[in-house]
Structure 1
Amino acid sequence: MFSKKRAFAAVAVAAGAALALAGCSGGGAGSDGGSTPTFNPDEKVTLNMSFWGNDVRADLYNKVIAEFEKKYPNITVNSSFLAFPEYWEKRQTEAAGGGLPDVMQFDYSYLRQYSQNGLLLDLGPYLGNIIDTKPLADNILSIGVVDDTTTAIPTSTNAWGMYTNPKLLEQAGVDEFAGGSWSDYSDWMKEVTDASGGAFYGGTDYTGRIQNFELQLRSEGKDLFSEDGKPGFDKARLKKFWESSASNREDGVVIPQQKLEEISPKSGFDTAQTASELTWDNFGSGYLGNLGADYTELGLIAPPVTKEGAKDLYLKPSMLEAISAKTKHPEAAATLVDFLINSPESGEIFGTNRGLPASETALAAAKLDPLSQQIADYEASIKDRLGDAPPVPIVGYGTLENKFLELGQELNFGTVTVDDAVDQFFSEMDVVLNQ
């Protein structure tokens, strides 16, 4: 398993090098900050648009595009889709050849890489005119900014949270986690594990996820990485984090790594072997699907607090929409992006297929199922903890996230010491930051 991840990381590094060679110096028409761009509805235009997904999402896109072409009959949209890995392989090939689609569904982890290589259109001139910004909060718009330039706009958002299993808690006779510190959370997990008599566990070792480390750093006024790629932590801070859950691992409070290996690729939570899971809030439908027909609801609450009053949480894009810097029709492309993000038709048709709509107009039109409404209510409930999104992930962030996860697994197995894990992570980080 580890060798596959390292192989993937090598592919990602090679792809980054290819994109660097493919980078172009300027944006497309309309990105020079000149006169306000407007779309001529009488101009006949054909746009190519790509997205990742499956047949279900493709059907939804086809319906939205049909509504768009009704409103703008002179614009023809040709769409195509692939599964996520193949989608980015094709984009990398197109980037090297200078032929990216006019409009692209975009992933946050690739945004800096493509933006800094000049492959994405500066959307600044289109914001507030062709692309309506009124339904989009400032902290939503800021998500798509790289080096002070808006190169993508979120279609939808999610936030870090904690899912809980009400059935398991009822079996254990333990109340829902009432909130509190990370130490309080550890105590609660121990109570659940002890009460279950070994049938299930309170949770998974939270120090295996880099997002929980990020949460603690944000409470201290720091980011994982700054805009210019500087880490917001040193070896001592990382060691403190990994040591904070040592007793959970050693005393059997959290699910053992061997059990997690046996049920992979599912997690302890969606196999009903843990009563809680810290993760992105859009994972709920997947959990319910894996848990089966006996489960119709989950708990969803805020993660533990590191420092009271801190703006440690933030909204992350489930996905974004971006435009090629070389598009020949930037105004028409921006019109399509606005429709995909803001239109009531888009909200009604997509619902939460792309995540909770980021636009107020699209969200108002979306028909939310009970779980989606629960997620919307959750994101509203954490409003006081929501801060600005961190800088867009550094190039190579995915490699570091995987390394952090691997080391967390080895700590849970007991095959590496905390000191060794810290050294290994910093060695990997040095390679990524200096490639």
Structure 2
Amino acid sequence: MFSNKRAFTAIALATGAAIALAGCAGGTTTTPESAASFDPNEEVTLDLAFWGNDIRAELYNEAIAAFNEEYPNITVNATFLGFPEFWEKRQTEAAGGNLPDVMQFDYSYMRQYSENGLLLDLDPYLGNIIDTEPLSENILQIGVVGGVTTGIATSTNAWALFTNPVLLETAGVDEWEGGDWEEYADWMGEITDVSGGAFWGGSDWTGRIQNFEIQLRSEGSYLFSEDGEAGFDEERLTEFWESGADVRENIGIPQQRIEEVIPKGGFDSALTASELTWDNFGAGYLAGLGEGYTELGIIAPPVTEEGTQDLYLKPSMLHTISAGTDHPEAAATLVNFLVNSPESGAIFGTNRGLPASETALEGADLDPLSQQVRDYEASIADRLGDAPPVPIVGYGTLEEKFRQLGTELNFGTLTVEDAVSQFFSEMDVILNQ
């Protein structure tokens, strides 16, 4: 059952800042001789930790009850916190060598915890305790760090272009039919021109590192390799940021208008007709837009090079097991249930994102927007390539720096040359720490 600790209801976005784990007393990644030798009658207790709010806590409560119908011998004690507090507590536990047996996990922290020997090697459990049939190879590879599986994705998302059908109708402009980045800018400009200053076609996409990443992937490169090598130089980043000059100056929403509606953004304030972001943001956008909005458009991002696999599936979250757990088989059994079971799919729906497991997805009752996301991810199958390596330690810091520099470029308070210099200086610190 759940502890009495009340959740923080606001879930902050991940910053991905490096966590100091030096001197951790974490367990090793040694594995048992036979991961399948699980005694179903052994009475064990597991600690489960996740971030979320009261709604997600109740869903986990239901899932644990369903799990106990099948495994009455495994007691699950679950606790939850808001996102920042969740990771602060994990840092303290990691230093003391007492991480929870099973953890909901964020992609940004996978490498750091894995490379510090804090997460259990799950490979011996794959195909026996943890069913891999419902999980595609692309999804299984998401949780691999240094050749070792340390996490199983519960759900996935992909980079997408959201559009606002109400604003498009108001502007008298058809849905974007796809094309390259220049054609997308032209479409945005058409909306901005006819709106009379009431709204804009979109925002400067060069402020998001993911848009840079999919361009690099189209060119056969990457942001960062498994070894932390950058796949671009100053000249390529300069070219990218300069490509947004016309959008910043004449087409996109001014940065000052964005600042005025924070904590919302331009898209969920009905100030922009399009937004490039992860496809699981749709529900939040609809909630922000409020009355009069029942649907959104979800289409593929602009193309850099035709026929390339520039997109990929990213985990909304994963489940991991502490390397120090006393009950690895029971913990793997719980992870399998939370990831793969139809019961879990039916209980959580898309609360954790679109289920990554086919069996969990079959159990989920998808609302219209979630079905849209499912159809969208099917529609981009030809553009989906292998996911990049698990983010380097400090990736979140670089992502945020990229966003901040994009904001200053949009304000006009920084030149592209200075922005490139600042980013490479920050990158040098992160990659060589």
Q: State the TM-score, normalized to the length of structure 2.
A: 0.95
Q: Does 1:228 align with 2:230?
A: no
- Contact 2:52 2:80 (8 Å CA) reproduced: yes
Q: How does 1:152-231 map onto structure 2 within 5 Å?
A: 152-231=151-230
Q: Which residue of 2 aligns with 1:27?
A: 29
Q: Which residue of 1 aligns with 2:315?
A: 317
Distance in 1 between the 2:150 and 2:354 partners? 21
> How many angstroms does 1:222 deviate by?
1.3
Q: How does 1:239-278 map onto structure 2 within 5 Å?
A: 239-251=238-250, 253-278=251-276
Distance in 1 between the 2:412 and 2:162 partners? 26
- Contact 1:165 1:299 (8 Å CA) reproduced: yes
Q: Which residue of 1 aligns with 2:135?
A: 136
> How many angstroms does 1:434 deviate by?
1.1
- Partner secondary structure for residue 158 of structure 2: strand
> How many angstroms does 1:200 deviate by?
0.6
Distance in 2 between the 1:249 and 1:283 partners? 24
Distance in 2 between the 1:68 and 1:37 partners? 18
Q: Does 1:95 align with 2:94?
A: yes
Q: State the TM-score, normalized to the length of structure 1.
A: 0.95
Distance in 2 between the 1:66 and 1:211 partners? 39
Q: Which residue of 1 aligns with 2:51?
A: 52
1:345 to 320, 343, 346: 343
Once the two structures are superposed, what CA deviation does each residue of 1:14-67 show, in whole Å capped at 9, x if it has no partner?
A: xx32x132164721542xxx3343311011110000000000000000000001
1:12 to 13, 17, 28: 17
Instruction: Look up the equivalent residue of 2:22 and give its one-letter code.
Output: A
Distance in 2 between the 1:38 and 1:187 partners? 61
Residue 333 and residue 212 in structure 1: after superposition, are their counterparts in 2 closer, same or farther (change >3 A)? same
> How many angstroms does 1:293 deviate by?
1.5
Distance in 2 between the 1:377 and 1:236 partners? 37
Instruction: Look up the equivalent residue of 1:49 and give its one-letter code.
Output: L
Q: How does 1:276-425 map onto structure 2 within 5 Å?
A: 276-425=274-423
Once the two structures are superposed, what CA deviation does each residue of 1:167-196 show, in whole Å capped at 9, x if it has no partner?
A: 101111111111000000001100110011
Identical aligned residues as a percent: 72
Distance in 2 between the 1:255 and 1:410 partners? 14
The number of equivalent residue pairs is 420
Distance in 2 between the 1:225 and 1:300 partners? 28
> How many angstroms does 1:12 deviate by?
3.4
- Partner secondary structure for residue 337 of structure 2: helix
Once the two structures are superposed, what CA deviation does each residue of 1:61-92 show, in whole Å capped at 9, x if it has no partner?
A: 00000011110111100000000000000000
Instruction: Look up the equivalent residue of 2:24 and give its one-letter code.
Output: A
Instruction: Look up the equivalent residue of 1:39 and give its one-letter code.
Output: F
- Contact 2:151 2:319 (8 Å CA) reproduced: yes
- Partner secondary structure for residue 79 of structure 1: strand
- Contact 1:153 1:320 (8 Å CA) reproduced: yes
Distance in 2 between the 1:12 and 1:379 partners? 29
Distance in 2 between the 1:250 and 1:288 partners? 28
Q: Which residue of 2 aligns with 1:41?
A: 40
Runs of 4+ in 1 over 6 A off after TM superposition: none
Distance in 1 between the 2:258 and 2:127 partners? 48
Distance in 2 between the 1:66 and 1:359 partners? 20
Instruction: Look up the equivalent residue of 1:183 and give its one-letter code.
Output: E
> How many angstroms does 1:363 deviate by?
0.1
- Contact 1:28 1:327 (8 Å CA) reproduced: no
> How many angstroms does 1:248 deviate by?
1.3
- Partner secondary structure for residue 20 of structure 1: coil
Q: Which residue of 1 aligns with 2:10?
A: none
Distance in 1 between the 2:346 and 2:421 partners? 50
Superposition RMSD in Å: 1.2
Q: Which runs of 5+ in 2 are unaligned?
A: 1-13
Instruction: Look up the equivalent residue of 1:137 and give its one-letter code.
Output: S
Q: Which runs of 5+ in 1 are unaligned?
A: 1-7
Distance in 2 between the 1:311 and 1:12 partners? 29
